[in-house]
Amino acid sequence: MGMYRTYFTRISCSCFSLFFLCEYLIYYFVLIQCSWPVLDPRKADQTIEPKDSNQMVKVMLLADTHLLGPKHGHWFDKLRREWQMYRAFQTAMFLQKPDVVFILGDLFDEGQWCSPEEFNAYIDRFHSIFHVPAGTKLFVAVGNHDIGFHYKITPYLQKRFTDA
């Protein structure tokens, strides 16, 4: 009986360790290898006067997050993708500490088709996944999946996105 308990304990600990590594620590192992570039002052544009030559602005760019919507997304796919985006983004924010974050268009996959209630749920999910700490500026650009394609864009959809 004791041998089976020991075997079960080892298997359980191994599974938990593997899960913790693959779902949490892996983001730290990968992103800790990244660093901000060191700029060569000899190649700087001499026509621009720097405000403080010892401090650079650290900018993070993201694009096309495509948070899945209620109509076309499978619940498990949505759960998995959003967990990965959350872990990767929050780990990058913690390790790299950017001053400014730009998220460029197509935040949502079904933004142009969703109801006001669904859109508000999208906004809540977006802010929980891509939360930035105080002192970090966040700028968001609209994409065609957020408010529609070319001639399908309406003032209502534009305003709804801008107000969010």
What is the residue extent of each domain of the chain?
A: 1-33, 52-164
The pLDDT, as a whole number, for residue 53 is: 58
Please write the tens of the pLDDT for every residue from 126-159.
999 999 999 999 999 988 887 877 777 888 888 8
The residue ranges of the chain whose pLDDT is under 70 are 1, 48-54
Strand partners, 102: 61, 139
Tell me the angle at which helices 75-96 and 116-129 cross, rounded to the nearest 10 degrees. Answer: 40
CA separation for the pair 143, 55 (Å, rounded): 32
Please give the pLDDT value at position 51: 62
Q: How far is residue 9's CA from residue 68's CA, in Å, rounded to a whole number?
A: 38
CATH of domain 52-164: 3.60.21
Quote the percentage of the chain above a pLDDT of 90.
46
pLDDT of residue 26: 92
> Which pLDDT score is estimated for 129?
96
